[in-house]
Amino acid sequence: MSTEYNFEGWMGDDISSSEGKMAWREFEPKPWEETDVDIKVTHCGVCGSDLHVLRSGWGATEYPCIVGHEILGVAVRVGSKAENGIKVGDVVGVGAQSDACLGRDGPCAPCSVGLTQYCPRSVNTYNDRHRNNGKAYGGYASYHRAPSHFVFKIPSGLSPESAAPLLCGGITVYSPLKYHGAGPGKKVGIVGIGGLGHFAVLFAKALRADEVVGISRRETKRADAMSLGCDDYIATSDDADWVKKNQGRFDLIISTVSSDNMPFDDYLALLAHGGTLVQVGVPEAPISLKPFSLIVGRKSVTGSCIGSPDEIREMFQLAADKHIKPWVEKRPMKDANQTLIDLEAGKPRFRYVLVNES
């Protein structure tokens, strides 16, 4: 079946593409299947993952590559076997997985594993191959083709620029907050007040945690943290006694930091007995901790990566009901290269969203 539109996007051809050297050109999407949906991209959030992949920071990237896994737009073609009741004209989104069996929805019949990391059916939104061997391209583009299983209707009440970054940045922190019981009776610390951390503050407050505290290096982030809704703020580089003052304070800590140079043992000291630290930031180099940081106080360290389809729908509805508004700056899609340069320089407060102007 022919289409009346061309798939074009910002192509990264090598490591230098992360330095603002992507090229806009036409590409061939995955071969069409009747379970697919074609989306005219109106908005695409810019995620730190995009930089990591373009520069092969987490492993070898299969170039050429189009990044972007916070994709929002309008369904323009819907397969006869598409899931989720998607219809042509619906405002829809695609997140950080385009086709996967995620454990919290239960394992699928052929696999019985139920863990994305080990599931042979898992396909990333970009820099991967679909089961029909078609290449997976992301949302820095005019159009995106995705398996319908991971295409979500966007609820009314959410602006597209607010909804797009929820598809990775939002769900990455919402899922562990919900899973670990952030809510009444819990004190929550958020390490890193930035692209991920500001979502964590917004959702922890929406889930009605007793106390939500921002944790970052410098006192200069305090005003932003308090504006987001934090009850308190800890500046680790500007207060020599920050560990002593806050020892045993938190039931749950969400660490969004992607640096391998972080005081991990000190963060663990902030946990109460039986507390949990969830690492969601992904440094490109290993981090270390001392065993006694865990042993004393029966503390746990775990990780989390995005969330299940049901969690994504739940998150969207919570965001709509609670009028959650991420801090975003819209940039024209034509300025994607400069946007990546600015992201690497740490300029966003706190997420960039690329917008197709036509």
Q: Give the DSSP H or E segment for 301.
A: strand 300-303
pLDDT value of residue 59:
94
pLDDT value of residue 104:
42
pLDDT value of residue 308:
86
Could you tell me the pTM of the whole model? 0.92
| 119 Cβ contact list (under 8 Å, min separation 6) | 100, 101, 108, 111, 113
Residue 31 φ/ψ, nearest 5 degrees: -55, 135
Task: Please list the residues that pair with 329 across neighbouring strands.
Answer: 352
Contact by Cβ (8 Å): 80, 103 = no
DSSP letter at 281 equals -
pLDDT profile of the chain (358 residues), mean per 10: 84 97 98 97 97 96 98 98 96 81 46 43 87 95 95 94 97 97 98 97 98 97 97 97 98 95 95 98 90 94 91 96 96 98 96 94
pLDDT value of residue 119:
52
Among 49, 64, 62, 57, smallest CA distance to 8 is for 64
Which domains are present in the chain? 8-165+327-355 (3.90.180.10), 170-303 (3.40.50.720)
Helix, strand, or coil here: 178?
A: helix
Inter-CA distances, 77 with 66, 86, 332, Å: 21, 10, 25
pLDDT value of residue 150:
87
Contact by Cβ (8 Å): 199, 256 = no
Residue type, 91: V
